[in-house]
Chains A and B, each alone.
Chain A
Amino acid sequence: MSCLKDEPRLSAWMDGELSETEAKLAAEHVNACAVCRAQVTALRAVRFPTAEPDPNFIVRFREAKARQPWSPFDLASQWRKLAFGLVPLAAAILVAALLVALGNDRDPLELVELEALGDPGALEVDSEMVTSIAFEPFPEDLP
């Protein structure tokens, strides 16, 4: 493994963010490399401040909140929630409409079979449509 001194992998190893295999390789390298060991020691020497709680922060928050005219329960928020709630309903209606439309689109062979089985309405067609098709002129370029 090449030296990790200037590699982001060294930080990731220190932070426990490498995979088990990568971490093992990095640890072996750091143990064997004096430069990396010195680097790790130097990086760990920096001490950071701690986040100290402020007991009055919540008091100031309550005061600021009281000055605001809104809340999570305002009208816009309720409308947004209602709109999100309606999305599944709209999707269900759309799916149902598609299923109905597809259900009506029967295969012609199926219709012939139904006619043969005694369904007189199965092959009924719109007479106007038949007329319009029957009297449509042939294209002139047909042989």
Chain B
Amino acid sequence: MEADRDALARTLDGDERAFEELVVRYEAKVRLVARGVLRDAALAEDVAQDTFLTAYRKADTFRGDGTVKSWLLRIAVRRALDELRRRGRRAEGALSSAPEPRQRPHQALDVGWDLDAGLDRLSVESRTALLMKEVEGMSYREIADAMEWPMGTVATKLHRARMELRDALDEKRLEEKPDVVSER
């Protein structure tokens, strides 16, 4: 997107407000992807802020071979995975099980069913890629760039993730209406 590259170029020329255009344009997407990884809205907010601060500080490292959006989301995914690892280590250190989210993820979102059960089944990477596709409408090329995967991996991971979500949806329906046989 040319407007994004232009905003980044103006940032490097010293236009303080230019970077804010990117923040406004992409904060929701960055938060959503971070939440997809972390499953915690408050932590995702911290990671999103950190993502934009890092991008602002390292604006001159944008190579220009992908989109600014996938560059930002790549930073967000890395930051979120780092945070997840830190939390995992801390949890192990405290001899506790998985840490409790500070806020139930997706609770404020208008969704057709409770996605949590399904999304929790997926690997961190798969659910992140799925959200990039389904929510952001990102192309396989953009997802491959953001996740640092080969192109072929994107189709495989997305399909597997969708199948697992479908299974979770079927189970949910069976729990609610045990007499209805799932269409498989």
Q: Which of B64-79 contact A (CB under 8 A)?
A: none
Bound CA span A47–B111, Å: 6
Chain B interface: which of A50-58, A92-100, A120-128? A50-58
Contact with B along A1-35 (1 / 0, CB 8 A): 00000111111100101000000000000000000
Residue on B with the closest CB to A52?
A: B28
Number of interface residues of B (CB under 8 A): 49
Which of B23, B58, B111 is A49 in contact with, Cβ under 8 Å? B111
A61-B52 CB under 8 A given contacts A10-B159, A46-B162, A53-B27: yes
Task: Establish whether residues B24 and A58, one from each chain, have CB atoms under 8 Å apart when the complex forms.
Answer: yes
Task: Establish whether residues B169 and A17, one from each chain, have CB atoms under 8 Å apart when the complex forms.
Answer: no
Residue on B with the closest CB to A43?
A: B162
**Given the complex, which residues of A lie within 8 Å of B136, measured CB to CB?**
51
Shortest distance from the beta carbon of A82 to any chain B beta carbon, whole Å:
11
Shortest distance from the beta carbon of A43 to any chain B beta carbon, whole Å:
5
* Chain B residues touching A, majority SS: helix
Shortest distance from the beta carbon of B155 to any chain A beta carbon, whole Å:
4
A45 within 8 A of B: yes
Task: Establish whether residues B155 and A9, one from each chain, have CB atoms under 8 Å apart when the complex forms.
Answer: yes
A68 within 8 A of B: yes
A17-B139 CB under 8 A given contacts A58-B23, A61-B52: yes
Task: Establish whether residues B59 and A68, one from each chain, have CB atoms under 8 Å apart when the complex forms.
Answer: no
Task: Establish whether residues A72 and B59, one from each chain, have CB atoms under 8 Å apart when the complex forms.
Answer: yes
Residue on B with the closest CB to A73?
A: B14
Shortest distance from the beta carbon of A8 to any chain B beta carbon, whole Å:
4
B134 within 8 A of A: yes
Contact with B along A76-119 (1 / 0, CB 8 A): 01001100000000000000000000000000000000000000
A64 within 8 A of B: yes
A54-B31 CB under 8 A given contacts A15-B133, A65-B53, A72-B59: yes
Which of B14, B53, B58, B139 has the most CB atoms of chain A within a 10 A radius of its CB? B53
Task: Establish whether residues A47 and B140, one from each chain, have CB atoms under 8 Å apart when the complex forms.
Answer: no
Which A residues are closer than 8 A to B by beta carbons? 6-12, 15, 17, 38-39, 41-43, 45-54, 57-58, 60-62, 64-65, 68, 70-73, 77, 80-81
Extra contacts besides A15-B158, A72-B57 (6): CB < 8 Å: A39-B166, A43-B163, A46-B169, A48-B135, A54-B27, A71-B57
Which B residues are closer than 8 A to A by beta carbons? 11-12, 14, 20, 23-24, 27-29, 31-32, 45, 48-49, 52-53, 56-60, 106, 109-113, 115, 118, 131, 133-136, 139-140, 155-156, 158-160, 162-163, 165-166, 169-170, 183-184
User: Which 6 pairs between the two chains have the least Cβ-Cβ distance?
Assistant: A49-B109, A47-B112, A51-B28, A11-B159, A8-B155, A8-B159
